[in-house]
A and B are shown apart, each in its own frame.
Chain A
């Protein structure tokens, strides 16, 4: 059973379009991170959200943590080819120590 359900799994869009990636769980997380990974590289941390209802913005990326801290979303405005990559959400639970639970990932392709 996957604790973090991430959707969609694949997304191919044109440059300039908007998109949203979702990360859902039935479990409560103490914090949630979003990572982006490019081929041949390790995941790179984009943001950490810790408070229910929290919204963080990173240029054209907007991250939201659900009020109940069970879900999160990543919204990209006016996507660019440089946004192409594998997006991963990862949750931390107090009962799991420092171990992270990763979602299945969303492979985003932005076509010029």
Chain B
């Protein structure tokens, strides 16, 4: 298993600004992912954070809006750029232990006003 620390845990931001969310894993992992979730609903995959190369984005998500960094095997950041109220959501960092068993950070609850 892996322990994932994500911060900030919550933030309230002004529209038009950007927020960077950090994700730290306590061990080296091969795969890291970023998800978005509305409270009480399912998870939507934003992108796969690739170490040493550009992230792989899912349909509907683009690098200009959600730039992702992954400088090493234990750390990744997600930036939500030029925020609007529609970006208000919970953002979750995830890492794979084993082939498909995912572990999650506690999430970042973002409110854009």
Q: Do chains A and B interact in one complex? A: yes
Interface residues of A, CB < 8 Å — how many? Answer: 23
Query: Within residues 21 to 55 of chain A, which ones have a CB less than 8 A from any CB in chain B?
Result: 30-31, 33, 39-45, 48
In the complex, the answer to whether B43 meets A92 with C-beta atoms within 8 Å is no
In the complex, the answer to whether A42 meets B4 with C-beta atoms within 8 Å is yes
In the complex, the answer to whether A48 meets B101 with C-beta atoms within 8 Å is yes
> Would you list 9 pairs from A and B whose C-beta atoms are within 8 A, ordered by A residue?
A40-B106, A86-B40, A90-B102, A98-B30, A99-B33, A99-B45, A99-B48, A102-B42, A103-B42
- Additional pairs, 10, CB under 8 Å, beyond known A42-B107, A103-B42: A30-B100, A31-B99, A42-B104, A43-B43, A43-B102, A44-B104, A45-B101, A99-B48, A100-B100, A100-B102
Interface residues of B (CB under 8 A from A): 4, 6, 9, 30-31, 33, 39-43, 45, 48, 92, 94, 96, 99-107, 109
